């Protein structure tokens, strides 16, 4: 049995809201064993009070960083220095950098040059250079919005209201969530790329393995996550495109199913 990958979780509290902590920790735990959990900020500032309850609950080690210059995120340099220390002194397989700040772009590139996985997490406003520098990037505000939308959809009270009048999901969200959080890469771009990859990589009959297609999309778009578009599985996202069709075949062991996809025939 192969050991779990070990990760260092570094959170920029100056740049990320505490409301995302549940998503951050859940996503981190799905990656492997998070052996280092540090969060950086000026904990003397009243603005950090919203984070304080989350520290003990999520075993986060707060790192104090005073703001020496007005308007400058003082946590950046501390996180970067710690990340490099961890790189050389700790046995970790990857880093989870939680921030919407482009200042971590070079750090992400350097860590990946050293053979470490880098998973970024931040809001949809995150500059693309940092997003692209990460192997994967989780768009926190979109995941947060979709998660709370789903919670509203299936409640009995909401179903009764929808029978009377169709109520958009956004109206059920608190005001701070109702802002238009959109995926960094829009669905149209994903769809066009999927079709292009099928044209270039399918077999003579136009079929391609769904898993292979998903891996290619993830490599091209580090921020890609089918949940950003309202789907829990990549196959369901593909099935939503009317131009495409899927097929399930038995694998060599006769137990699991292999899913293939191609352009729909006219």
**How many separate domains does the chain show?**
2
CATH number of the domain that 68 lies in?
Answer: 3.40.50.1010
Can you name the residues that pair with 117 across neighbouring β-strands? 94
In a domain, 1, yes or no: no
The answer to whether position 26 is within a domain reads yes
Claim to verify: residue 216 and residue 104 sit in the same structural domain: no
Residues 13 and 125 in one domain: yes
pLDDT score recorded for residue 150: 63
- Residues 90, 21 share a domain: yes
pLDDT of residue 257: 80
Residue 69: predicted pLDDT: 55
Does residue 127 sit in the same domain as residue 16?
Answer: yes
Q: Are both 123 and 13 inside the same structural domain?
A: yes
Residue 174 located in a structural domain: no
39 and 118 both lie in a single domain: yes
Nearest to 58 by CA among 86, 38, 76: 38
* HSE-up of residue 79 (Cα within 13 Å, Cβ side): 32
Nearest Cα neighbor of 176 from 47, 17, 14, 13 is: 17
For the chain, which ranges sit under pLDDT 50?
1, 71, 153-178
| One domain, residues 131 and 204 | no
Tally Cβ neighbours within 10 Å of residue 180: 8
Give residue 166's pLDDT. 34
Q: Residue 185 is encoded by which pair of tokens? A: 């890469």
Query: What distances in angstroms separate CA 87 from CA 40, 107, 120, one per listed residue?
Result: 18, 11, 16
Whether 115 is in a domain gets the answer yes
Q: Which residues are CB-contacts of 146 (< 8 A; sequence separation ≥ 6)?
A: 227, 228, 230
**Does residue 169 lie in a domain region?**
no
Looking at the fold, whether 131 and 245 belong to one and the same domain comes out as no
The reply to whether 61 falls in a domain is: yes
What is the span of the domain harbouring residue 251? Answer: 187-263
The answer to whether residues 197 and 83 belong to one domain is no
pLDDT of amino acid 76: 82
| CATH number of the domain encompassing residue 204 | 3.30.420.610
Q: Where are the beta strands (DSSP E) in the chain?
A: 6-12, 33-41, 61-64, 94-98, 117-122, 136-139, 208-209, 244-250, 257-263
CA distance 82 to 102: 17
What pTM was estimated for this model as a whole? 0.83
167: in domain: no
Same domain for 118 and 47: yes
Which tens digits make up the pLDDT trace of 178-226? 457 899 999 999 999 999 999 999 999 999 999 999 999 999 999 999 9
> What is d(CA 77, CA 133) in angstroms, rounded to the nearest whole number?
18
Q: How far apart are the first and last CA of the chain?
A: 48
Longest dimension (CA), the chain: 65
| Residues 129 and 55 both lie in one domain | yes
Same domain, 115 and 193: no
Neighbouring CB atoms inside 10 A of 247's CB total: 12
- The whole-angstrom separation of Cα 90 and Cα 61 is 16
Among 88, 112, 143, the domain-final residue is 143
pLDDT of residue 45: 81
The answer to whether residue 178 is domain-embedded is no
């Amino acid at each position: 049995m192969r050991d779990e990958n070990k990760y260092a979780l570094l959170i920029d509290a100056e740049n990320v809201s505490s409301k995302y902590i549940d998503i951050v920790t859940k996503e981190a735990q799905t990656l492997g064993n998070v052996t280092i959990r540090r969060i950086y900020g000026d904990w003397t500032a009243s603005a950090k009070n919203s984070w304080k309850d989350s520290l003990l609950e999520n075993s986060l080690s707060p790192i104090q960083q005073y703001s020496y210059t007005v308007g400058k995120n003082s946590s950046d340099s501390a996180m970067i220095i710690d990340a490099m220390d961890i790189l050389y002194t700790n046995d970790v397989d990857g880093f989870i950098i939680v921030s919407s700040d482009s200042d971590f772009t070079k750090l992400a590139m350097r860590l990946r040059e050293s053979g470490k996985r880098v998973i970024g997490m931040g809001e949809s406003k995150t500059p693309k250079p940092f997003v692209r520098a990460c192997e994967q990037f989780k768009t926190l505000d979109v995941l947060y919005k979709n998660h709370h939308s789903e919670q509203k959809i299936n409640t009995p009270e909401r179903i009764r209201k929808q029978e009377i009048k169709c109520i958009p999901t956004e109206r059920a969200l608190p005001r701070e969530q109702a802002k238009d959080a959109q995926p960094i890469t829009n669905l149209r771009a994903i769809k066009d790329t999927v079709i292009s990859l099928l044209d270039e990589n399918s077999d003579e009959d136009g079929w391609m393995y769904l898993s292979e297609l998903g891996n290619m999309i993830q490599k091209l778009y580090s921020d890609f996550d089918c949940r950003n578009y309202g789907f829990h599985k990549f196959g369901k996202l593909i099935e939503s495109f009317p131009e495409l069709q899927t097929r399930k075949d038995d694998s060599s062991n006769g137990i699991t199913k292999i899913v293939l996809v191609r352009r729909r025939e006219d």
